[in-house]
């Protein structure tokens, strides 16, 4: 779906923001009703960049885009045809300009199923690129949880606090962490917000999702990272007799040395180069955050790439999560580690450290070791592709004892 927001007169002192849509020779333009100074317009993001009025203008642009997508979904999925220009303008005038709430109507006996509606909505998002592929997977997981908890059906007239409570009860029965339940509810809340704007579902007028009502705790993660010594012990293992474990070990260690997410371990997305000083570097764009990162390759990371002239093979996330625990056991990373999780109640988990190693442990290890070595936060974030410092800090593991040891390096504490 080729939707864009462009300036009507980009060379004027002030220009109206227009929605433009093209499809197989068909063209449609519609005014947002807002204008900006061209110097304050971001062409790539197609949004206002001025600090004055940014939230108002951008929120209205987002509202128009949402109304447009709802319209196309209503015509293409419901009527099986493309709307005319007159129908498009009439729909947008009614749902975007008038800013009125849809009327509440009597629910029919055969009330439409919201889960089917959410499935079509997610398919539309995936098709038009509204959200990234990784986000589509996350929303799909939340949708599958809804299906399982509500027995694959959710009539419009049964949307309410009881349905949401059923989902929370189901996830707590699975012993899901509170943070995961909260994220799932946020996805469901987004689905319902779109349904509220859709005139084909006139009875959906309020959102019953209230994450605070269920006592969900969103505490900092206590997941592990590996020390330098533990990384060396994994690297020194002789795995020549087991090619699968050898590849999994290389995937994991490469992520430890580069800070990459598992989804970015794809050589086809990389650009390898050499600086004027002869140092190799890696350039790639993060799949999740769409941030461009450039980082110098450690010698250990470069040696891993040299093992595979045709490109480093990768294994599935599930296989790496399973086998890296076995590799950790072989490396003797077996000290008992205690951490707290919140799964309805506060739980204390005590288990060998190797059993807690997973693909994301590599990225957490990269960030933590870099911080402990004194690398400035802004440089680490540029390497790891974190968008905000708050999200970056969630990856840094620093115990009280480690903080004290690091403090002793400074003259202030002598």
Q: pLDDT (tens digit, 9 = 90+) per residue, 185-210?
A: 989 988 888 877 776 666 665 777 87
Alpha-carbon separation of residue 100 from 93, 127, 207 (angstroms): 11, 29, 17
Task: Supply the pLDDT for residue 252.
Answer: 94
Q: Which domains does the chain have, with CATH numbers?
A: 2-97 (no CATH), 114-214 (1.10.150), 228-413 (1.10.443.10)
Residue 310 pLDDT > 90, yes or no? no
Task: Supply the pLDDT for residue 145.
Answer: 92
Instruction: Say whether 336 sits in a helix, a strand or coil.
Output: strand
Residue 165 pLDDT > 90, yes or no? no
pLDDT by residue (tens digit) across 211-248? 666 667 666 557 889 999 999 999 999 999 999 999 99
- The more confidently predicted of residues 125 and 248 is 248
Task: Supply the pLDDT for residue 358.
Answer: 92
pLDDT by residue (tens digit) across 338-370? 877 666 556 677 889 999 999 989 999 999 999
152: left (phi over 0), alpha (psi -120 to 50) or beta: left
Neighbours of 344 (CB within 10 A): 19
What's the CA gap between 2 and 19, in Å, rounded? Answer: 10
105: left (phi over 0), alpha (psi -120 to 50) or beta: beta
DSSP state of 331: T
Closest CA to 224 of 39, 124, 355: 355
pLDDT by residue (tens digit) across 27-67? 999 998 888 888 888 898 898 875 444 456 787 888 888 88
């Amino acid at each position: 779906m080729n939707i864009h927001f462009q300036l009507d007169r980009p060379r004027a002192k002030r220009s109206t923001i227009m929605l433009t849509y093209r499809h197989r020779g068909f063209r449609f333009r519609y005014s947002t009703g807002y204008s900006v100074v061209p110097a304050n317009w971001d062409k790539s993001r197609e949004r206002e960049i001025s600090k004055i009025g940014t939230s108002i203008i951008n929120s209205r642009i987002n509202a128009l885009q949402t109304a447009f997508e709802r319209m196309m979904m209503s015509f293409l999925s419901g009527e099986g045809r493309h709307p005319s220009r007159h129908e498009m303008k009439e729909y947008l005038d009614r749902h975007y300009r008038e800013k009125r709430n849809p009327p509440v109507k009597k629910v029919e006996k055969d009330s439409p199923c919201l889960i089917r509606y959410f499935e079509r909505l997610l398919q539309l998002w995936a098709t038009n690129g509204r959200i990234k592929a990784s986000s589509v997977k996350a929303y799909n997981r939340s949708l599958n949880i809804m299906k399982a908890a509500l027995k694959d059906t959710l009539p419009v007239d049964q949307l309410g606090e009881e349905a949401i409570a059923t989902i929370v009860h189901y996830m707590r029965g699975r012993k899901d962490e509170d943070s995961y339940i909260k994220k799932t509810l946020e996805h469901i809340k987004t689905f319902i917000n779109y349904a509220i704007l859709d005139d084909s579902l006139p009875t959906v007028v309020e959102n019953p999702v209230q994450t605070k009502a269920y006592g969900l705790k969103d505490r900092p993660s206590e997941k592990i990272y590996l020390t330098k010594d533990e990384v060396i012990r994994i690297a020194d293992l002789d795995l020549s007799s087991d090619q699968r474990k050898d590849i999994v070990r290389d995937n994991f260690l490469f992520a430890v040395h580069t800070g990459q997410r598992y989804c970015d371990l794809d050589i086809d997305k990389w650009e390898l180069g050499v600086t004027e000083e002869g140092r190799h570097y890696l350039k790639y764009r993060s799949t999740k955050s769409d941030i461009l990162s450039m980082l110098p390759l450690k010698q250990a990371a470069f040696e891993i790439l040299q093992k595979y002239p045709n490109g480093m093979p990768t294994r599935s996330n599930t296989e790496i999560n399973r086998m890296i625990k076995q590799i950790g056991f072989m490396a003797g990373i077996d000290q008992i580690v205690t951490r707290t999780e919140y799964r309805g109640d506060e739980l204390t988990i005590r288990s060998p450290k190797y059993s807690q190693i997973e693909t994301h442990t590599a990225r957490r290890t990269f960030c933590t070791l870099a911080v402990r070595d004194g690398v400035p936060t802004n440089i680490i974030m540029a390497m790891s592709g974190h968008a905000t410092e708050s999200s970056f800090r969630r990856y840094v593991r620093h115990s009280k004892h480690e903080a004290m040891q690091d403090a002793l390096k400074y003259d202030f504490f002598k």
